Amino acid sequence: MTVNEARGPAIHVQGLEKSYKELRVLRGVDFAVARGSIFALLGSNGSGKTTVVKILSTLLKADAGTAGVNGFDVVTRAADVRESISLTGQFAAVDEILSGRENLVLVARLRHLKDPGAIADGLLERFSLTDAGARRVSTYSGGMRRRLDIAMSLIGDPPVIFLDEPTTGLDPQARLEVWQAVKELAGRGTTVLLTTQYLDEAEQLADRIAILHEGRIIVNGTLAELKQLLPPAKVEYVEKQPTLEDVFLTLVGDNGKTGKTGKTGKTGKTGRHGQDRNVGTDA
Ligand SMILES: Nc1ncnc2c1ncn2[C@@H]1O[C@H](COP(=O)(O)OP(=O)(O)OP(=O)(O)O)[C@@H](O)[C@H]1O
Ligand SMILES: [Mg+2]
């Protein structure tokens, strides 16, 4: 590996394919994530988001294509990739019987870091868990658990972190807290790839947003670029900018779900299924 490659994008994915038996989940996925940025992978249930995250974190082998993380190929340099990342899975991986602080100390010990106690206290403070630190995790709310889970994934300062649906099931306040934590991470130079089904989460957090649909990335761009894909909708006298939700539903097809949130309902959308769009320049 040359120095140049090491300075390239934090995450690089090309032509990724993955099937589970007959089910072709990924059919040629391409994207890149710039260092220190937040990249949101959006997609409906079952679109393959977790599959992408598992391949990038070396838990799963792709059938075809290449993927690199922090300059290391996920197949040939899997150990280096694992050293470069942390993964916060879709389901919280904290130990219920231990206290929050004990969970953090445990991970710091496993990573052979000096002064696990100080690391734990620093993270408890950063994630507003100091008061709850001594309590068993089984008494934590969903939001506290999530924050602890993210705090655990930061031990050892990995340059790249994967957050698979970090706020699913959280109430609005807890979501805001997690968002704050994620923004702070990126502010410190960590690269964040998050998957989400919440369009407002992507709007709030991501520098770039990619939509995974039917095995491919059908759009990839900044929020502003994605919004430009739809002309502003004329609603009577008011000119309204399309929301990310409009863009998403138009591109993905709403499968009869329009009206679920009451935010859409405009007519005359053109189907753009299956079209590859990469807006703007690649990071
Ligand atoms: N180990 C497996 N064996 C068989 N099928 C699988 C396996 N893992 C995932 N799948 C299927 O592959 C598809 C993609 O799954 P994946 O978990 O990647 O989707 P996702 O986008 O993360 O969905 P969600 O939003 O529900 O988390 C789904 O249809 C799922 O049922
Ligand atoms: Mg998933």
Q: What is the token pair recorded at 136?
A: 């068993």
Q: What is the pLDDT of residues 196-249, one digit of tens each?
A: 988 889 999 999 999 999 999 999 999 889 888 877 665 566 667 888 888 888
Asked whether residue 283 is domain-assigned, the answer is no
CATH of the domain at 89: 3.40.50.300
Q: Are residues 74 and 183 in the same domain?
A: yes
Q: Are residues 107 and 168 in the same domain?
A: yes
Give the mean pLDDT of 245-260. Answer: 69
Final residue belonging to a domain, choices 206, 221, 236: 221
Amino acid identity of residue 43, one-letter, is: G
Closest residue by Cα to atom 10, ligand 1, is 20
Ligand 1, residue 53: give the atom nearest the CA.
18
Q: What is the pLDDT of residues 140-171, one digit of tens each?
A: 988 888 889 888 988 888 999 999 998 887 77
Q: Indicate which ligand has the atom closest to the C-alpha of 23.
A: 1
Amino acid identity of residue 87, one-letter, is: L
* C-alpha of residue 164 to centroid of ligand 1, in Å: 13
Task: Give the whole-angstrom CA distance, residue 34 versus residue 57.
Answer: 17
Structural domains counted in the chain: 2
Radius of gyration of the chain (CA): 20
Q: Are residues 170 and 117 in the same domain?
A: yes
Residue 271 DSSP label = P
Q: Are residues 215 and 242 in the same domain?
A: no
Task: Give the whole-angstrom CA distance, residue 206 versus residue 54.
Answer: 20
Asked whether residue 127 is domain-assigned, the answer is yes
* C-alpha of residue 164 to centroid of ligand 2, in Å: 7
Residue among 20, 24, 167, 216 to mutate when testing ligand 1 (max atoms within 8 A of CB): 20
Q: Do you know the residue count of the chain?
A: 283
Backbone angles phi, psi at 164, to 5 degrees: -95, 105
Block residue for tokens 């539903």: 249
Q: Are residues 217 and 227 in the same domain?
A: no
Closest residue by Cα to atom 17, ligand 1, is 50
* C-alpha of residue 256 to centroid of ligand 1, in Å: 22
* C-alpha of residue 48 to centroid of ligand 1, in Å: 6
Q: Are residues 19 and 73 in the same domain?
A: yes
Ligand 1, residue 165: give the atom nearest the CA.
27
Q: What is the token pair recorded at 278?
A: 């990469």
Q: Are residues 237 and 214 in the same domain?
A: no
Q: Indicate which ligand has the atom closest to the C-alpha of 212.
A: 1
Final residue belonging to a domain, choices 221, 243, 263: 221
* C-alpha of residue 41 to centroid of ligand 2, in Å: 11
Residue among 16, 25, 55, 163 to mutate when testing ligand 1 (max atoms within 8 A of CB): 25
Q: Could you tell me the pTM of the whole model?
A: 0.80
Q: Are residues 231 and 213 in the same domain?
A: no
Q: What is the pLDDT of residues 14-68, one digit of tens each?
A: 999 999 999 999 999 999 999 999 999 999 999 999 999 999 999 999 999 999 9
Final residue belonging to a domain, choices 221, 237, 261: 221
Q: Are residues 101 and 180 in the same domain?
A: yes
Asked whether residue 255 is domain-assigned, the answer is yes
Q: Are residues 173 and 257 in the same domain?
A: no
Asked whether residue 123 is domain-assigned, the answer is yes
* C-alpha of residue 266 to centroid of ligand 1, in Å: 31
Q: Are residues 200 and 235 in the same domain?
A: no
Asked whether residue 27 is domain-assigned, the answer is yes
Domain assignment of residue 128, given as a range: 3-221
* C-alpha of residue 78 to centroid of ligand 2, in Å: 22
Asked whether residue 137 is domain-assigned, the answer is yes
Closest residue by Cα to atom 16, ligand 1, is 48
Asked whether residue 280 is domain-assigned, the answer is no
Calculate the CA 282 to chain-centre distance: 18
Asked whether residue 282 is domain-assigned, the answer is no
- Segments of the chain assigned E as strands: 11-20, 23-33, 38-42, 64-69, 72-73, 85-88, 160-164, 191-196, 208-213, 216-221, 233-235, 238-240
Q: Are residues 33 and 92 in the same domain?
A: yes
Q: What is the pLDDT of residues 101-145, one digit of tens each?
A: 999 999 999 888 999 999 999 999 988 899 999 999 999 988 888
Pocket of ligand 1 (CB under 6 A): 20, 23, 25, 43, 45-51, 90, 197
